[in-house]
Copies of this chain bind each other. A is one copy, B any other.
């Protein structure tokens, strides 16, 4: 039986701290970025101008910790891992962000659709998800593709990569194109060096890829992009999820299928 969102969040709240790819299949997963209210407009504008890496599916206003997409959730505890950022530097990783939130009660939180959401659709079409099969986190890479800047925020796009057998690449595009709110179709297929990725075997986030003979590396815009922007822009304070460790909502992926 498939896990409900509430069950997955309860499991995480009580200690699960791994990547969430493959958990609660069929439900939308989300990236998190929380910033002080003074920076909220810049971040929201950055997402509006960069909808491919930053498709916003919910915004929690100051003081709000329950997402409208997940009744009884608590954004401070229901993610397996958080990163704490000060002046653009990663200063800590925690599994419970309650204390950090208490020190910054005006945080505005953005939930951004995650590509784990469409992995279920790929699997159902007979396309193997190599990192899931290997029990690894998805590999993610910084690119040299600049995002559109917004106010005080700028940065390059981060992408996730899934190796797909050449015969199935078109089908993978077709399936993921139906999910614009979780990054949609790939941004690049093959030729990693063209987007500034020198070595596929050394991702900037997540685990090293498993690539089989005849696989083509396929790149999707990734919700870790705001973390690269936080770094590049020296945002004074932020809390994000740890790459690959997502917020699981109660929304069926069908809600975001077009």
**Please, what's the 1-or-0 string for A107-128, where 1 marks a CB less than 8 Å from any CB in chain B?**
0100000000000000000000
**Please, what's the 1-or-0 string for A193-223, where 1 marks a CB less than 8 Å from any CB in chain B?**
0000000000000000000000000000000
Instruction: Collect the chain B residues with CB atoms within 8 Å of residue A108's CB.
Output: 41
Tell me if A74 counts as interface (CB < 8 A to partner B). no
Q: Provide a sorted-by-A list of 10 A–B residue pairs whose CB atoms are within 8 angstroms.
A: A37-B41, A41-B41, A41-B108, A44-B44, A44-B45, A44-B48, A45-B59, A48-B56, A48-B59, A49-B59
- 14 extra A-B contacts, CB within 8 A, seeds A40-B41, A44-B44, A48-B59: A37-B41, A41-B41, A41-B44, A41-B108, A44-B45, A44-B48, A45-B59, A45-B61, A48-B48, A48-B56, A49-B59, A59-B150, A61-B150, A61-B151
Q: Residue of B at shortest CB range from A43? A: B41
Q: How many copies does the complex hold?
A: 2
**Please, what's the 1-or-0 string for A36-73, where 1 marks a CB less than 8 Å from any CB in chain B?**
01001100110011000000100101000000000000
**Please, what's the 1-or-0 string for A146-189, where 1 marks a CB less than 8 Å from any CB in chain B?**
00001100000000000000000000000000000000000000
Tell me the bound Cα distance from A44 to B43 in angstroms.
11
Tell me the bound Cα distance from A151 to B40 in angstroms.
12
Tell me the bound Cα distance from A40 to B39 in angstroms.
11
**Please, what's the 1-or-0 string for A219-244, where 1 marks a CB less than 8 Å from any CB in chain B?**
00000000000000000000000000
Chain B nearest CB: distance from A123 CB in Å? 26
Tell me the bound Cα distance from A49 to B56 in angstroms.
10
Q: Residue of B at shortest CB range from A45? A: B59
Interface positions, chain A 137-151, Cβ under 8 Å from B, are: 150-151
Instruction: Collect the chain B residues with CB atoms within 8 Å of residue A56's CB.
Output: 48
Tell me the bound Cα distance from A37 to B59 in angstroms.
19
Q: Which of A41, A45, A151 has the most CB of B within 10 A?
A: A41
